């Protein structure tokens, strides 16, 4: 994969002009501005301008910088009105406004923003700096840590200079170029591989960090020898990134992280493709093709999506990204259930590369779409995804408890109907030091206590590569597995779970089988929902304004308890979910239970 030699890369760079990869001509800009498919995108850009126009640029206070080391909180530094991402919101807004408009005030605001970002002590987040208290011990190396957002910042500044440099004050350009060189390009080119753990990892970091460094280098470098050296190093990162996907193309981090990681991979691959006149083509690989197709399989009615791991239950597909990928893969057909995102985020992380390409990559026609119901067995990922009639969606998983952004969730499932989530995945909690530390599995989002899986003798699933599903079969009808290894319960010999889905009747049948060496003290079948349950004799009803889903069980075998729980979402906003606990009345050494959901 990506077996291009340094000589091939250097020759291709020498043969083709840089401007083709990094410039936008006036005619192309006018085409973009007149594209009717981008009407919503330009409206959202106007909303950004209104939002940021009256928000001043602050120097980020040291008290906010040190907050993460103090108590693990990330939100203040990152999202406060004086924080990190406000600067990136300004940068994205005024760069895009200046690119597509002619207001001198937009240029002035962009220059102020670039100057403020060059003033920042570090472009990295405190949460990503190496080691506990590392920044205080290793001042300079940690200051120039290349994390996700330092890399994105360098990329954004480098591309903005290429697109708008002739409109910007030369001093601003000169200073920004010096910071990009020092903090990103030279840091990567002359750093040790050990300085960049992400260069050999298999999650989104490899693509976002590597892709951003690569784009910054293509924009900034006038030395093709040096650029070839950087590209060779980065292709190794791209290989390891692609190795993180299953052989059927699934992203175990979920659709949201596919958008992020594969989105930045695609930005870099496209820029490299254009910089080399198509001679270095990372899209010309079947594994990349399969990964590109993955998100088309994950959507349910109402733009709900498979939300395993730290992914969200709502999603969208970037109109520009899908359009560009369709030029390489004509078989891409977007499900009509997926929302096509065409706008510019007002708040968030403000990823300039992706926001820019939502305009630049968008064609004059929408990608092909389909209303067909599909079932997607993904045997290597051990996922089963199915769309049934009446806007019914179902997904279940096996896997292991050492996956990217891992949750202890082997045997877990989700159910949607008419755009509402009835059996739920809690998604990600608020990111903090504790969330990514030793306390991770005390959070309901991550521990199996917050998933629809059994609790055995009071024990939940454990984390680690030794906790995995085996004898897994995934086909058109459903998924079945043994997953006793997910639990550290010595008396448990067998734990078998089988899901069978009837897409015509929109009915899920679940069969669980337990075998023990001795009679267990307790076995609880836990099911998780955000909908307040109504418990009847042998039936649990979940009803919203959009529909009703019922689960049938044998009332003679279980005592039912419903437990309300309050947790926070990814942004810290509280919500309530319910644990439906079916406690076995008379545990036996060998037991089998059946449940049906429709």
Q: Residue 139 pLDDT more than 90?
A: no
Which H or E element spans position 206?
helix 204-220
Spatial distance between the Cα atoms of 238 and 332, rounded to a whole number of angstroms? 22
CA atoms within 13 A on the CB side of 58: 16
For 211-241, write each residue's pLDDT tens digit. Answer: 999 999 999 999 999 999 999 999 999 999 9
Assessment of whether the complete model's pTM goes beyond 0.75: yes
Q: Residue 132 pLDDT more than 50?
A: no
**292 and 305 in contact (C-beta within 8 Å)?**
no
Q: 329: pLDDT confidence band, cut at 50, 70 and 90? A: very high
Give the residue from 416, 486, 409 showing the smallest Cα distance to 451: 409
For residue 501, give both structure tokens. Answer: 């889905």
Spatial distance between the Cα atoms of 169 and 118, rounded to a whole number of angstroms? 14
Spatial distance between the Cα atoms of 88 and 349, rounded to a whole number of angstroms? 7
Region(s) of the chain under CATH 1.50.10: 6-298+317-370
Identify the residue with better confidence: 219 or 66. Answer: 219
Region(s) of the chain under CATH 2.70.98.70: 375-597
For residue 431, give both structure tokens. Answer: 């990111």
Give the residue from 343, 299, 337, 336 showing the smallest Cα distance to 319: 343
Spatial distance between the Cα atoms of 185 and 222, rounded to a whole number of angstroms? 12
Spatial distance between the Cα atoms of 326 and 334, rounded to a whole number of angstroms? 10
For residue 565, give both structure tokens. Answer: 């729980």
**242 and 291 in contact (C-beta within 8 Å)?**
yes
Q: 523: pLDDT confidence band, cut at 50, 70 and 90? A: very high
| pLDDT (mean) for 390-397 | 96
Spatial distance between the Cα atoms of 111 and 263, rounded to a whole number of angstroms? 27
What are the respective helix, strand and coil percentages of the chain, to the nearest 5? 40, 25, 35
| Alpha-carbon distances of 494 from 229, 332, 514, 596, rounded to whole Å | 53, 41, 6, 22
Identify the residue with better confidence: 210 or 371. Answer: 210
Spatial distance between the Cα atoms of 332 and 292, rounded to a whole number of angstroms? 8
Identify the residue with better confidence: 162 or 200. Answer: 162
Q: Terminal CA-to-CA distance of the chain, rounded, Å?
A: 44
Q: Which CATH number fits domain 375-597: 3.40.1350.10, 2.40.30.260, 2.70.98.70, 3.40.50.10860?
A: 2.70.98.70
| Alpha-carbon distances of 512 from 73, 227, 521, rounded to whole Å | 40, 56, 18
Q: Residue 550 pLDDT more than 50?
A: yes
Spatial distance between the Cα atoms of 219 and 215, rounded to a whole number of angstroms? 6
Q: Residue 342 pLDDT more than 80?
A: no
Q: What's the pLDDT at 136?
A: 64
Which of 217-221, 253-257, 305-309, 419-423 has the weakest average pLDDT?
A: 253-257
Q: Which CATH number fits domain 6-298+317-370: 1.10.3470, 1.50.10, 3.40.470, 1.20.58?
A: 1.50.10
Triad 410, 413, 418: Cα angle to 5°: 165
Q: Residue 100 pLDDT more than 70?
A: yes
Spatial distance between the Cα atoms of 325 and 323, rounded to a whole number of angstroms? 6
Contacts of 134 (CB under 8 A, 6+ apart): 142
Spatial distance between the Cα atoms of 538 and 549, rounded to a whole number of angstroms? 14
**55 and 315 in contact (C-beta within 8 Å)?**
no
Specify which residues 541 forms β-bridges with.
534, 550
Spatial distance between the Cα atoms of 533 and 509, rounded to a whole number of angstroms? 19
Q: What's the pLDDT at 471?
A: 98
Spatial distance between the Cα atoms of 141 and 136, rounded to a whole number of angstroms? 11
Residues of the chain above pLDDT 70, percent:
97
| pLDDT (mean) for 290-300 | 96
Contacts of 456 (CB under 8 A, 6+ apart): 487, 489, 492, 495, 514, 520, 522, 523, 524
Give the residue from 594, 595, 449, 456 showing the smallest Cα distance to 518: 456
Chain centre to alpha carbon of residue 256: 3
Contacts of 447 (CB under 8 A, 6+ apart): 407, 408, 440, 441, 460, 461
Residues of the chain above pLDDT 90, percent:
88
| pLDDT (mean) for 512-524 | 98
Q: What's the pLDDT at 138?
A: 64
CA atoms within 13 A on the CB side of 498: 13
Are β-strands 455-456 and 492-502 bridged in parallel, bridged antiparallel, or unpaired? unpaired
The counts of H helices and E strands in the chain are 20, 25
The mean pLDDT of the chain is 94
Contacts of 42 (CB under 8 A, 6+ apart): 33, 100
Q: Residue 107 pLDDT more than 70?
A: yes
For 16-59, write each residue's pLDDT tens digit. Answer: 999 999 999 999 999 999 999 999 999 999 999 999 999 999 99
């Amino acid at each position: 994969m990506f077996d291009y030699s340094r000589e091939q890369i250097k020759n291709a760079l020498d043969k083709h002009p840089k401007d083709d990869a990094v410039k936008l001509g006036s005619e192309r800009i006018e085409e973009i501005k007149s594209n009717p498919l981008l009407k919503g995108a330009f409206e959202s850009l106007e909303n950004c301008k209104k939002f940021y126009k009256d928000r001043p640029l602050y120097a980020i206070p040291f008290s906010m910088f040190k907050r993460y080391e103090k108590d693990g909180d990330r939100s203040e530094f990152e999202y406060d009105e004086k924080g990190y991402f406000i600067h990136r919101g300004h940068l994205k807004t005024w760069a895009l406004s200046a690119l597509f408009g002619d207001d001198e005030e937009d240029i002035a605001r962009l220059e102020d923003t670039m100057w403020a970002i060059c003033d920042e002590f570090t472009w990295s987040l405190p949460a990503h700096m190496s080691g506990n208290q590392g920044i205080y011990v290793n001042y300079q190396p940690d200051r120039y840590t290349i994390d996700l957002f330092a890399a994105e910042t360098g990329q954004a500044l480098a591309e903005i200079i290429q697109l708008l440099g002739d409109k910007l004050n030369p001093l601003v350009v000169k200073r920004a170029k010096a910071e990009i060189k020092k903090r990103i390009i030279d840091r990567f080119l002359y750093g040790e591989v050990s300085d960049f753990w992400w260069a050999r990892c298999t999650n989104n970091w490899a693509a976002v960090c590597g892709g951003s460094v690569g784009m910054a280098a293509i924009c900034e470098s006038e030395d093709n020898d040096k650029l070839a050296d950087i590209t060779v190093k980065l292709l190794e990162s791209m290989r390891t990134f692609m190795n993180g996907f299953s052989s059927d193309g699934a992203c175990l981090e979920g659709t949201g992280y596919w958008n992020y990681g594969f989105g930045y991979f695609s930005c870099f691959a496209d820029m490299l493709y254009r910089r080399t006149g198509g001679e270095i083509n990372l899209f010309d690989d079947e594994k990349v093709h399969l990964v590109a197709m993955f998100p088309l399989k994950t959507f349910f009615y109402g733009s709900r999506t498979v939300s395993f791991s730290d992914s969200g239950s709502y999603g969208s597909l970037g109109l520009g990204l899908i359009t560009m990928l369709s030029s390489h893969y004509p078989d891409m057909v977007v499900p009509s259930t997926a929302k096509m995102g065409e706008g510019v985020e007002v708040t968030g992380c403000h990823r300039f590369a992706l926001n820019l390409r939502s305009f630049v990559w968008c064609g004059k026609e929408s990608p092909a779409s389909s209303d067909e119901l599909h079932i997607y067995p993904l045997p290597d990922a051990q996922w089963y995804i199915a769309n049934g009639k009446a806007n019914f969606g179902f997904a279940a998983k096996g896997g292991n408890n050492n996956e990217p952004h891992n949750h202890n969730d082997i045997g877990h499932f989700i159910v949607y109907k008419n755009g509402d989530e009835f059996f739920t995945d809690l998604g990600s909690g608020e990111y903090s030091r504790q969330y990514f530390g030793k306390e991770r599995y005390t959070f309901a989002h991550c521990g199996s206590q917050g998933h629809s899986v059994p609790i055995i003798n009071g024990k939940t699933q454990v984390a680690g590569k030794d906790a995995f599903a085996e004898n897994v079969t995934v086909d058109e009808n459903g998924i079945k597995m043994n997953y006793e290894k997910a639990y550290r319960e010595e008396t448990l010999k067998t734990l078998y779970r089988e899901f069978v889905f009837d897409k015509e009747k929109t009915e899920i049948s679940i069969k669980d089988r337990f075998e023990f060496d001795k009679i267990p003290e307790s076995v609880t079948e836990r099911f998780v929902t955000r909908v307040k349950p109504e418990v009847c004799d042998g039936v649990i009803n979940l009803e919203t304004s959009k529909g009703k889903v019922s689960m049938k069980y044998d009332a003679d075998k279980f005592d039912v308890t419903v437990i309300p729980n309050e947790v926070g979402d990814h942004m810290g906003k509280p919500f309530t979910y319910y644990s439906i606990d079916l406690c076995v009345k008379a545990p036996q050494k060998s037991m089998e239970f059946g449940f049906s959901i429709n």
